[in-house]
Amino acid sequence: MLELNIVSAGPSELVDAVRSHLVDGLRSPIPLPTCDAALTRALELGDVRAEAWCRLLRGDAYNRELMLARAAGELSQAITLFSAIDDPEGTAISLWRKGSVWCRIGDLDNGRLILSQGLEIARTHGLRLIEGVCLSNLAFTWGSEGHASQFRELTERALEIFDEIDDVSRKTLGYCNLGGALSRLGELDAATDAYMQARSLVQADKQPLVHALIEGGLGEIAMIRGDLEEGTRRITGAAEFLRTHRLFYDAVRQDVLLARGYSLCGRVQESIELYRKALEEARERGYSAIQMQALHSIARMLGETGKWEEAYKTLKEAWELKDVAINEESKQRFEVLRDVNLGTAIAQDRLKANELAEINKKLSATLAELDQANLRLEELAKRDPLTKALNRYGFETAAAPLLGALSNSQGLGVLWVDVNDFKSINDTWGHGVGDEVLIEIARRLKVAARETDVVSRFGGDEFVVLIADVHEVDAVFVSERFKRELTSAPVSTSLGPVKVGVSLGLSSVYSADDLERAMLRADSFMYQDKRGTGSWHAVDPDTISIAMEESEILKD
């Protein structure tokens, strides 16, 4: 159990208790409801680090209960959160646990890849305990595929680390694994020494599985040497001990080990019976891998004794079971991969929300806070970062409702504004002053604009203003007001005043699908104005003179 009152625990207390439990080699299992309560408290506190450790705790609990898809999802969330807050220890431990999940579903390649990632982080940051554990787990993946040399090499490297940091519980498991590796290599005396070293360190009540593995390993060595009685005593004792601790899967594996021992001693019929007994319990408990192993061993021995028809039936049953097992394993791998992706996405979404609402202060932000943060992001996406005027995307977004409200009585004006000789300003005064000029141009346009007008910067020294609710003649008047505001005085900069001139181009929009064409016309008029080759708009001068006397626009 966690050594604290979860309901009243603060972030640091929660993290310390969970971390201490997870790195303790002699820890007792924590029930899932306790893990849920710890995570709920972390979310209440709004602390990213506390949530990350509690998700790691719950993922470990799911893994222990063989709820592997859920375990993968929680561990993926933990990895994402630890990475965001730059916690290498939490990240490495989460990768170690996640790697073991992939190994348990039979995907040893992915399991080794994830364990290697955890190993690299542990080495980089001097996390010797986690480095040793990752090496030990990697060793086990090679051992499960029969690669005894790699199993031995990695186990010995892990043992060196556990000996260096004096972690007795993991040193015990390391010697136990080393005994298994040496036994597979045929070095029985060295294997016995390793098992005996582990036996001198093990705490059977706190490490029941390790205790049983040691006894089973010593029993297997006895049988290889022909001592059937000693081997049977040790292996059956280990199986009974495991059942007492409700470790049924490992107990059935000891039953299979006993049957194999009888086969090694030439007691074929008794071996078959022991395999069948193990097969019966494996069927009851749904252990498909053990079922296939037992069926193949029985078929082999039946064939060796000339019972070919019975051997064929047994092999056929094993093949059918293999097809079912492959389908189940594929389904389980899909579920794990699905929950890995889902868990990562959930954690990333939560971190994104917290970045927008002062990350690391309240991870449990409300949906309303997330909506507000997304609105702020949308607004930033519409703005030119230098002048804070709308960019092209912002212009198009703001123009959409105005275009939708167009009527026969009112139109829109598109005013294109270009700063004259802007390159000369940059060359003479420097780009810093050039930026100051652009910022001031945008400010003056905003000052001259009405509330309904849309001011934007399209890039470089070009600005576009959408003038709302005007006829073409009135748009000319408004544009003149913009020009007066822009050229009324030199721009004050950090290096002194800079005189600025502008060229204008004006066109009108009377239908929603005419905006792009109107912008091209305005751009063309602007170039006429800049070169002095024509008017900057298409309105007849006499019409302007008559309208000038009547217009209310100039009074705004």
Query: How far apart are alpha carbons 239 and 245 in whole angstroms?
Result: 10
Higher pLDDT, 362 or 142: 142
Based on the number of CB atoms within 10 Å of its own CB, is 387 exposed (0-12), middle (13-18) or buried (19 or more)?
Answer: buried
Q: State which H helix or E strand residue 201 sits in.
A: helix 188-201
Share of the chain above pLDDT 90, in %: 22
pLDDT of residue 266: 87
Determine which of 66-75, 165-174, 358-367 has the lowest per-residue pLDDT on average: 358-367
Average pLDDT over residues 259-284: 90
pLDDT band, very low/low/confident/very high, at 300 (cuts 50, 70, 90): confident
Q: Is the pLDDT of residue 554 over 50?
A: no
Q: Is the pLDDT of residue 547 over 50?
A: no
pLDDT band, very low/low/confident/very high, at 366 (cuts 50, 70, 90): low
Give the position of tokens 């007795």.
168
pLDDT band, very low/low/confident/very high, at 341 (cuts 50, 70, 90): low
The full set of domain ranges for the chain reads 392-553
- 3-state class (DSSP) for residue 507: strand
CA angle 14, 359, 384 (to 5 degrees): 170
Q: Is the pLDDT of residue 338 over 70?
A: no
Higher pLDDT, 436 or 289: 436
**116 Cβ contact partners less than 8 Å away, ≥ 6 residues apart:** 134, 138
Give the position of tokens 């929950």.
339
Q: Is the pLDDT of residue 225 over 50?
A: yes
Digit-coded pLDDT (tens) for 171-188: 887 888 788 878 878 888
Q: State which H helix or E strand residue 491 sits in.
A: strand 491-493
Q: Is the pLDDT of residue 19 over 90?
A: no
Digit-coded pLDDT (tens) for 456-475: 998 889 999 998 877 776 77
pLDDT of residue 218: 93
Determine which of 144-148, 195-199, 239-243 has the lowest per-residue pLDDT on average: 144-148
Digit-coded pLDDT (tens) for 373-417: 667 777 778 888 899 999 988 998 888 888 887 765 567 888 999
Could you tell me which CATH class the domain 392-553 is placed in? alpha beta
Q: Is the pLDDT of residue 500 over 70?
A: yes
